[in-house]
Amino acid sequence: MNTISNFIGGEFIKPLSGKYLDNYEPATGKIYSRVPDSDSHDVELAVQAARNAFPIWSGMSVEERSAIMLRIADLLTLHLERFATAETIDQGKPLWLSRAMDIPRAAQNFHFFGTEILHFASETHATNQHLNYTLRNPIGVVGCISPWNLPLYLFTWKIAPALATGNCVIAKPSELTPMTAFLLAELCQKAGMPAGVLNIVHGLGAKVGAAITEHPDIHAISFTGGTTTGENIARTAAPMFKKLSLELGGKNPNIVFDDCNLTEATLQSARAAFTNQGEICLCGSRIFVQQSIYEAFKKEFLSHVGKFTVGDPLELTSKQGALVSKAHYEKVLSYIEMAKQEGGTVLCGGKAVHPEGRCAAGWFIEPTVIEGLTHDCRVNQEEIFGPVATLIPFENEEEVLAMANSTNYGLAAVVWTENLSKAHRVAAKLQSGIVWINCWMVRDLRTPFGGVKHSGVGREGGFEALKFFTEPKNICLKL
């Protein structure tokens, strides 16, 4: 059995308590490794290591830091197969997806921020009498807390800009998916990252996550996860005046107008609803379809969904893998039951899947499409975060905007229409941090990424991330 270690001060070490948590393989439902059940004492050790390393790391030239980050990107690419397999076993997602998306994107995160830092400039504001210029200094020791749905992808999305800007990091991956962050530590060593610059403390949110949030020497927290957890973190961090970036839940609308390219809209809407078992914060789970094409859309959409084979994520024929945990699997099934009670009709799926062989006890659910629910019922208002999508008909723009904007969330939205004016008009009125028109999940890492309302505070990506991880200091000189 694999035993995961913390990575503190450049060394792999056991949790101080000696305690471990079981780590499950979602596809089999069996324990396959052990993850440290760390606590505030391990976080304290990590903070000491990070404080000691900060003068070394922040004192290095930008070019030296960049070179180390680019080496990590190269090493990740070199070891893609090992990391992709580890991610799939740990998370339950199909291997083809780990290979095509998760691990390449993790490498790209290091490459992107490792080069972006070379182009990061600060402002000057001059008058005839004075010259103002702004320095952007690293914050010091920062905390990065990430979720289980895109484990290495989101872990590196946080730590890469933090490191590029010269901070030392205390990072905590989800206790449900710790494996690839553990493997990454080895690559950081190989790439020549000084000891103590990146510290990875594994364990439960309520222990390790809370200890990171509460620590007085950690001055910024970058968090991605659920809205309730974000609220708890904000409650602790706000009175301590910590910088906070919160990327939280979503319940994203996917709006299909009758003048869309139906072939493309049906195909991409199916992808948007069910990629990664629907466990992506950007998934379009509420599909609003204009009444005049509702039946035609439904027929074509269901025919795409019908091809999404569920099975062993290590088999390349499986379009969809297992859900991350038993608790999450039960939560998703309970929402399908709720949908029936709320008057919904299950058009396809709706049940657990028990593949033959090694995955018989895994946590699989069929891709499920439901119609007949009102836009304001619980199933259409609460985040399910699984392979469940609903179809909701609408008559006109005004009506669909009101329904799309009716949830507490505001992360991402998709609009399908060939009418350019309508596309811009609707996009501008959607309460959402991100809107895709005639596409889904196209990510240019330079763009601001984040949500409005209960989907979060702050933006990641591009220079926004470098700004978050630095403190501006204005200096005014009399000429």
State the catalytic residues.
247, 281
CB of 319 to ligand NAD, least distance (A): 21
Interface with ligand NAD in residues 168-207 (CB under 6 A): 172, 174-175, 205-206
Compute the chain's Rg from CA coordinates. Answer: 23
Using CB under 6 A as the binding rule, whether residue 226 contacts ligand NAD is answered as yes
Q: Which of residues 352-411 bind ligand NAD (CB under 6 A)?
A: 383, 385, 411
Question: For ligand NAD, which residue of 209, 284, 321, 350 counts as binding (CB under 6 A)?
Answer: 209
Where in 135-174 is the site for ligand NAD (CB under 6 A)? Answer: 145-149, 154, 172, 174
224 binds ligand NAD (CB under 6 A): yes
| CB-nearer residue toward ligand NAD: 19 or 130 | 19
Using CB under 6 A, count the residues that bind ligand NAD.
31
- In the region spanning residues 454 to 473, those forming contacts with ligand NAD, defined by CB under 6 A, are 455-456
Residue among 272 and 411 whose Cβ is closer to ligand NAD: 411
- Which residue type occupies 350? G
Residues contacting residue 454 through CB under 8 Å, at least 6 positions apart:
227, 248, 249, 408, 409, 410
How far is it, in rounded angstroms, from Cα 438 to Cα 265? 7
- Residue 451 is a binding residue for ligand NAD (CB under 6 A): yes
Of 157, 169, 164, give the one whose Cα is nearest residue 195: 169
The bridge status of strand 456-457 relative to strand 470-478 is unpaired
Q: Which is nearer to ligand NAD, 154 or 305 (CB)?
A: 154
C-alpha distances out from residue 45 to 6, 15, 217, 347, 396, Å: 11, 10, 12, 53, 58
Closer residue to ligand NAD in complex, CB, 58/406: 406
- Interface with ligand NAD includes 229 (CB under 6 A)? yes
Angle at 261 between CA 258 and CA 263, to 5 degrees: 115
Mark residues 262-281: x for contact with ligand NAD by CB under 6 A, - for none: -------------------x
| Secondary structure (DSSP) of 24-48 | EETTTTEEEEEEE---HHHHHHHHH
E strand map for 173-219: 198-200
Handedness of CA 432, 450, 322, 383 (dihedral sign): negative
List residues near ligand NAD by CB under 6 A: 145-149, 154, 172, 174-175, 205-206, 209-210, 213, 224-226, 229, 232-233, 247-250, 281, 383, 385, 411, 451, 455-456
